[in-house]
Amino acid sequence: MVSHYIFSQLVLFALLWLFILLHLTWPKRPVAAPATPTEEPEPLTPKRHHSNEPKPFEGLTHKPHCALWERETPHPQAPPPVPPDPMPPTNRRPRGVDSSRQFCPHAGCDYRGWLGLGNLRANGHPSGGPWRQFHCTSCKGYFLETHGTIFHGKHAAVERIVHVLACLAEGLGIRATARVFEVDANTVLHWLVEAAEQLRAFSAYFLCDLHLEQLQLDEVYAVLRARKAGEISEEEAITRLEHAPSWVWTAMDPTSKLLVVVEVGHRTVAMAQRVVHQVTRVLAPGCVPLFLTDGLKDYATAILSHFGQWMHPERRQDKGPRPKPRWMPLPGLCYAQVVKSYRRRRLVGVTHRVVFGTRLAIEQVLATCGWTINTAFVERLNLDIRQRVAAIGRRVNTLCQDEAGLQQQLVLFQVYHNFVVPHSSLRQRLLVPEPPHGRSAAKVWRPCTPAMAAGVTDHVWSLKEVLGYRVPPWPQPQTV
């Protein structure tokens, strides 16, 4: 009997042991099983749907802060001086030299900075040099036609400077460009810095008072690397990257492809403010375009602070104090976000979030182009920037990897993209095709740049023409 009892105990132990073994060695799947439902798509869908529904925006009690605004308000830019009367025509023979793009640069001259007032005389080429001299009949001063441009006072050939900068604009790095032209890399960098200063003024002069219907804004990550890879530890590199202003912010008009703003900085609300502030400088007064961005929430703050106004909410009750004024979006402001969700670096969903305005109003603006809510155009442009700006996102050692250097390359890219390179989607069919020329076929299309499509200029510029353009110090009166 005892042995039978022991036997049953043993069987029980064996069963218990088997159970424990099985439990320990069983594949982990049953344990992981409760986790699988989270991988199932959209347990959160009801919530997402909820966020899609337009909620009435209640306004802010404080206007959001913009550093540029606060810097400009106490020191508003002086209005441009009043142009003097044009010089009376003289009885001399009519001028053969075009002086329509020239202005007197001399401080103290009444005609300084004004185009086409008849105060200039072409004066030939002093000591047989390549550049023409002009004479101002008002201040009796002389200046060269290259005054204030990158060509002024350079010994290097004009074509060489233009080709070097064109190479940089096409995306070749500084060192590579220096090797191609057998120039010192520092010379190339020096020319880039000089050109960037001039091109910044060029952009500011031409990109103003724009009437734009839509703007797409985006920010792209730039790999700013330390001067020499391997010199610093990985940890140090990462901390540097975190502190490095390594985002390129862009704002573009999807209709004309005009690159309106390009800036380098952190991915912060202050930077979003800066970008939207630059946008307001470019737009005509009263122009409120439709804004489309990615899901970065800082854009909403920045757009609201620059396209908002104080409103007095209605009283909810007959008595009691008046409600405090609230900072509300302008009535015509429309803003939508394209929110992309990623899982394991793969795009798994795109939702459109209307932030200001109504979905209907936004769709009406887009319908004229046959589009829906998207940020595809600015993303395409950012791809172009990646290919054309050597300092971003490519594993090359460029001299130009700090913030200022990147900014200069981007200024060059901006002008090159807007004024020099015709955009294939913008080309216009000629009413009368040009007859074939030699071996080439008849010309049916007229090339068109973003600046032409935006009505800023009437022709495709060459880089040489851009670099030789003397930018007047202030806007000129419209010639009728």
Residue 102 is a binding residue for Zn ion (CB under 5 A): no
Asked whether 204 and 415 are in contact (CB, 8 A), the reply is no
Nearer to Zn ion, 106 or 427 (CB): 106
Neighbours of 372 (CB within 10 A): 12
Coil/strand/helix, residue 105: coil
What are the angstrom distances between the C-alpha of 208 and each of 188, 249, 458? 30, 19, 16
Contacts of 454 (CB under 8 A, 6+ apart): 210, 212, 253, 256, 258
Within 286-325, the residues that bind Zn ion by CB under 5 A are none
Q: Is 122 in the site for Zn ion (CB under 5 A)?
A: no
Rounded to a whole number of angstroms, the minimum distance from the CB of residue 87 to Zn ion is 11
- 327: exposed, middle or buried (C-beta count within 10 Å: 0-12, 13-18, 19+)? middle
Out of 102, 103, 104, 191, point to the residue binding Zn ion (CB under 5 A): 104
Query: Under rule CB under 5 A, which residues in 214-243 are in contact with Zn ion?
Result: none
3-state secondary structure of 11: helix
Burial (0-12, 13-18, 19+ Cβ within 10 Å), 422: middle
Instruction: Using CB atoms within 10 Å of the CB of residue 142, give its burial: 0 to 12 exposed, 13 to 18 middle, 19+ buried.
Output: middle
Among 137-145, 295-303, 307-315, 358-366, the segment contacting Zn ion (CB under 5 A): 137-145
Q: Whole-angstrom Cα distance, residue 451 to residue 419? A: 6
Where does this chain touch Zn ion (CB under 5 A) — which range of 74-82, 102-110, 144-152, 159-167? 102-110
The two structure tokens encoding residue 406: 């990147």
Among 64, 66, 102, 136, binds Zn ion (CB under 5 A): 136
**Which residues lie below 8 Å from residue 104, measured CB to CB, with a gap of 6+?**
111, 112, 113, 114, 119, 120, 134, 136, 138, 139, 141, 143
**Closer residue to Zn ion in complex, CB, 138/418:** 138
Question: How many chain residues touch Zn ion (CB under 5 A)?
Answer: 8
Least Cβ distance, residue 136 to Zn ion (angstroms):
3
Nearest distance from C-beta of residue 137 to Zn ion, angstroms: 8
Confirm if 117 and 84 have CB atoms less than 8 A apart.
yes
Which residue lies nearer to Zn ion by CB, 139 or 158? 139
Binding segment (CB under 5 A) for Zn ion, from list 62-70, 73-81, 106-114, 394-402: 106-114
Q: Which is nearer to Zn ion, 138 or 449 (CB)?
A: 138
Q: Which is nearer to Zn ion, 137 or 457 (CB)?
A: 137
By the rule CB under 5 A, 87 interacts with Zn ion: no
Smallest distance, Zn ion to C-beta of residue 120, A = 8
Q: Segment near Zn ion (CB under 5 A), from 109-117, 173-181, 283-291, 391-399?
A: 109-117
Q: What is the DSSP string of 153-164?
A: T--S-HHHHHHH
Minimum CB–partner distance for residue 166 and Zn ion (Å):
34
Which window, 37-45, 108-116, 191-199, 367-375, contacts Zn ion (CB under 5 A)? 108-116
144 binds Zn ion, rule: CB under 5 A: no
> CB under 5 A: which stretch of 6-14, 130-138, 307-315, 316-324 binds Zn ion?
130-138
CB of 470 to Zn ion, least distance (A): 14
Is residue 139 a contact residue for Zn ion (CB under 5 A)?
Answer: yes
138 sits near Zn ion (criterion: CB under 5 A): yes
- 3 state DSSP class of 14: helix
Position 109 contacts Zn ion (CB under 5 A): yes
- Which 421-460 residues touch Zn ion, going by CB under 5 A? none
CA 407 to chain centroid, in Å, comes to 11
Taking contact as CB under 5 A, which single stretch among the options 42-50, 84-92, 133-141, 187-195 is the one that binds Zn ion? 133-141
For 4, the token pair is 């039978």
Residues near Zn ion, by CB under 5 A = 104, 106, 109, 111, 136, 138-139, 141
